[in-house]
Amino acid sequence: MTDIENQPVRTEVHENTLVITIDRPKARNAVNAAVAEGIAEAVRRLDEDPQLRVGVLTGAERMFSAGMDLKAAANGESASIEDKGFAGLTEAEPDKPLIAAVEGFAMGGGFELALACDLVVAGSSAKFALPEVQRGLIAGGGGAVRLPNRIPYHLAMELILTGEKLTAERAAELGVLNRVTADGAAESTALELAAGISRNAPLAVKAAKRVSRTAARDSEQQAFTAQREEIRALLASEDFAEGARAFAERRSPNWSAR
């Protein structure tokens, strides 16, 4: 494990996984400009480093994030980055998978950060909410856009229009979460999921994410067109040849990401 300090966002490498930790516990890990810049830089590193396969996003001291730092916003500070959205992530579309490991509260922008990830793990006491309407705003970091596409429309609208809290148990019932863990175990469970993803061919993992993202956003026909191109490229890759050899030889493949 390598520990790299980058306050107020810390990054640690666990084998092939980059753990990105929002580290402002006194501010309930609220997102200000420095956090947005730190997350954007960490995601850039994740995508550009060939040794890294998966990212895990979490918060320090068992608190995921209270969302936007309203005090910083009142002083004119922006928590968004151009072309990358709130917290440098919600509109960034990273190439590699991201897993949210949620403990405590994921409020407003915190919930939107989790929704921007590909998988979500949460401790059993975690709470989620999009309370922006209670403060004269809307969930503009992806909550109002993504949630109706993740769960039934009427249930999404209840959360978006009331701002009421959602328990981890209910979030799992609705399909928002992949796993509910004991409190304090969200990060370790996310790392287990990341290890499972990392065992697979990195080119195929990125291609699968791109096709799934296209399918969620565009027409079915556009998704199939994109998928054909991805499969054509994968069939010509060294990793596909290695995967076939490893299967025939009954051994684990040695991926080269080429």
Query: In this predicted model, what pLDDT tens digit does every residue of 70-117 receive, in sequence order?
Result: 899 889 999 999 999 999 999 999 999 999 999 999 999 999 999 999
Tokens of 221: 């026909």
Looking at residue 7, its pLDDT comes to 85
The tens digit of pLDDT for each residue in 184-198 reads 999 999 999 999 999
Looking at residue 93, its pLDDT comes to 92
What positions carry a catalytic annotation? 112, 132
* pLDDT tops 60 at residue 1: no
Sign of CA pseudo-dihedral 211, 215, 218, 222: positive
Strand order in the sheet with 54-59: 2-4, 9-14, 17-22, 54-59, 98-102, 119-123, 179-181
